[in-house]
Structure 1
Amino acid sequence: MSAKEIAVGSSSINGGDPCPICLGPILQESYLDTCFHKFCFRCIKQWIKVVSSKVTKQLSSVKCPLCKTDNISIIHNFDGHSFDRHYVDPNTTDGFVLTKEQRYRLQCYYTESGLLADVFDVSRFWKLKNLLQPNKWLESWLRRELQALMQEEDVDIVLHHLAGVLDSFCKRTEQRHKQETRSTETFQEQFKSVMAEAARPFLTARTDRFVDELELFLASGINRDAYDAVYKQRLDKNNSREISVANEAIEEEEENRRTRVPPSLLLLFEEDSD
């Protein structure tokens, strides 16, 4: 369900309507995380406590008292940039944990760009127009990169979007190649521009570096494991202090992600404020 659809579905309890539980003004505005019905934080928290007391097993979700939709948490303390979550099951952990491999790749984005520029012949890759050749390892590499950068497990939508953009670019290039001659530099610049535009809404400040890494992986002509081995060998020779700083930054990212507002939730709150 889209954020807009959720907002419409909850419109009956917005705009100053009372809390559906206590029937008084809503204090400490809070929302259930799936249906997004709004309650006093204290009221819905007490509701969950009462429902949980009636069963012997710890609940992982609770049905909304209005629509009976299952929800796993209460969203509260929203300030426009972050929010807190109170889980039905207090043992629930919030979100995606980076694997060792994903953490290593995220670390790479804290090093200087061009770390492997002298290893893989990028200029030859563009001169031979190897981009137009299928790369059977690209999807696996893209998935891992997106999971590391977005710190999300499910990146299928973004993955298919980027793969589709790249495929369309290659098809257009093949057609134009029969009609006109373009320089290697123009071909390369257009690739970077198209991919950056497609990735920027999802990767924001890391977009340009991601496109550089994508270009490097494609130019390498090797599979993901072999590429990683080359990268790790070079990374190990780098300054250990730089790697330590990168690890600290990654830990801070993981902590901040716990209270990061998903774009759909931001959109919903913006619509509610109108």
Structure 2
Amino acid sequence: MFQIPSSLVKYYNPILISTTTGNQQTKPSIETNLATAGLNATSAISALSHHLAGVVAGRAPVAGDSESPCDNIELLNSLLPPREWKKDGEMWVQKVCSVPATTTDVANLEEELDVRLRELHARETGLCLIRRELYSQCFDELIRQVTISCAERGMLLGKIREELQTTITGYQEVYESNMAFGARKALLAKQRIENFEKTVQKLEEQKQEIRQKIKELKTDSETTGKLQKRRQMSEESKRAEEIERLKKQVQYQRNELSAILASSKKQ
């Protein structure tokens, strides 16, 4: 999921757990932890004072008051586990804040959410990982605020968060499956287009070859026609000459025959 630099969920100051120097791992002293987590102690005292003030004032019990503050804190840590990270050989841990929220805190949360949405240029509509992460953090902060005052409501909100996450994960899997299916379809379509293009190119080459053959056949036909015509004209000329020769020969023989007949009559 998209990671936002800072969270909308309220946490205590980070506490140094251990320091690694070479191959040795050392733990910080109690004084160092107390100095680092000064605000944590102050916040815890403020929360305890708030609880005691309610008891002294005779505040009517509400749902979740049967739970001790320690039980609520344990539930809070289970719903919103502490953040741990390692930097420069030092192991740090940061627990979620257990100070009860006020109406001002809720208003500030809404204002900070709007500011973050604008600063990170989150989309107002459609799918947006930034908007989803910010609203998820805002929901976690609401779970923190509700769990401190009422453990049962916090547990119910935690179940709702898990169900929403499961639903979103299911939709994401369906989306990724559809994307993969679409990619396969697009790849098959691309392969078919390539095959069609190859077939078209092959048919174009065959068409060019056929056209070339037709052109050659036309040339051969024209050449053969001209030769045939010349041969026919030559034969006709020879026949005409032969006929003319035979006509002259017949005429000559007729003349000779006439002369012979004429001389026979005189005798």
TM-score range, shorter chain: under 0.3
Structure with max Cα Rg: 2
Task: Provide TM-score, normalisation by structure 1.
Answer: 0.22
* Greater share of residues in helix: 2
